[in-house]
A = this chain, B = another copy of it.
Amino acid sequence: MEAITSAHLCNFLAGAATVAPISTRRRQANAFSVRMGLKEDGPSLAVVGVTGAVGQEFLSVLSDRDFPYRNIRMLASKRSAGKKLTFDDKEYVIEELTPESFDGVDIALFSAGGSISKQLGPIAVQRGSIVVDNSSAFRMDEKVPLVIPEVNPDAMAHIKLGSGKGALIANPNCSTIICLMAATPLHRHAKVLRMVVSTYQAASGAGAAAMEELLQQTREVLEGKQPTCNIFKQQYAFNLFSHNAPVLSNGYNEEEMKLVKETRKIWNDPNVKVTATCIRVPVMRAHAESVNLQFEKPLDEDTARDILKRAAGVVVVDDRVSNNFPTPLEVSSKDDVAVGRIRHDLSQDGNHGLDIFVCGDQIRKGAALNAIQIAEMLL
């Protein structure tokens, strides 16, 4: 077995300490199928931020799901321009992102940070592209649908591919997606009145460089050295800290307010009460969330478990006897959000409260997969 290197970061801890690269895994799964992706009548795609943690996962998900495409533009910063990249056995040259990058592009998948989205998202729309944006730039814009396909697909029903008109669709924050994948099926049944969320967020949520910093710091601490702090201002290895997003005057950080506000928008319910405490833990990939729910109508834990077992994109892992519950490691590189620790909340009267524990790969369902599911709904 080989040691972990930074090149392995995107696969790091995906299911086990060592894992086959995504391309190999896919090839095994599809050994007898014909490669479907490259299609004359598919849309023309652009991946903006293709070298990043989410960008790399876009490619992996496109490939896994045989997303049809006529051609695909690999876009990143000047730093990466000219570098080569192999996707679906074909070699691509990474191009520098410019306004012209979007000429003729039908669907542009953005994951290069909020300021790039703000700057180039509207330009791509002007040039006729449908932008699926992973940043927070447009999420709370009233005119922009904020979509989890399993939760509120109708919000984007008016956006059509091939109409010649560009449009923006926002991908929710990763913690919001993971939480609502579990909470929405229960909300549909019993209406959530209030939700108290505490998160356990992985390094990958802060991008590829953050994963690398956690790895480097861990090595340094084990060797008795001072940990290098570039991305985060404090030691991350064997430690945890309040999420590094700026703290607002109400004492919540921006990550927490995303959970509060995006939930209201996605559920189209301005009255739903949400509070959140967002914490970064020294996990490489995939977020976990402890969610306490208060319902309008009664909902017992067995009914809740049945509802979640039937929910699309959700897997129930809830074995009390063998103490087997969701973990970030188990969901890494998986599509489904795992839910467990489903139990009647002892602190609420009657059958109006539940506690659950949710884990989801936030680069996958929390970002790339959700965006590509949105793109699939356009086809």
Contact = CB atoms under 8 A, between A and B. Distances in A.
Interface of A: 1-4, 13, 16-18, 194-196, 198, 200, 214-215, 218-227, 233-235, 238-242, 244, 246-247, 249-253, 260, 273-275, 277, 279, 281-284, 288, 290, 292, 301, 320-321, 323, 325, 327-329, 340-348, 353, 355, 357
A214 to B, nearest CB: 8
A20 to B, nearest CB: 13
B198 A347 contact: no
A277 B226 CA distance: 33
Contacts of A353: 275
B343 A251 contact: yes
A103 to B, nearest CB: 41
Contacts of A4: 221-224
Contacts of A273: 346-348
B251 A221 contact: no
- Copy number in this complex? 2
B3 A223 contact: yes
A110 to B, nearest CB: 27
Contacts of A345: 275
Given A4-B222, A195-B347, A275-B292, A251 B284 contact: no
Nearest to A233: B323
B247 A320 contact: yes
A2 B224 contact: yes
Given A1-B224, A200-B240, A277 B260 contact: no
Nearest to A223: B3
A9 to B, nearest CB: 12
A346 B227 contact: no
A119 to B, nearest CB: 26
Q: Which of A200, A220, A235, A239 has the most CB of B within 10 A?
A: A239
A328 B195 CA distance: 26
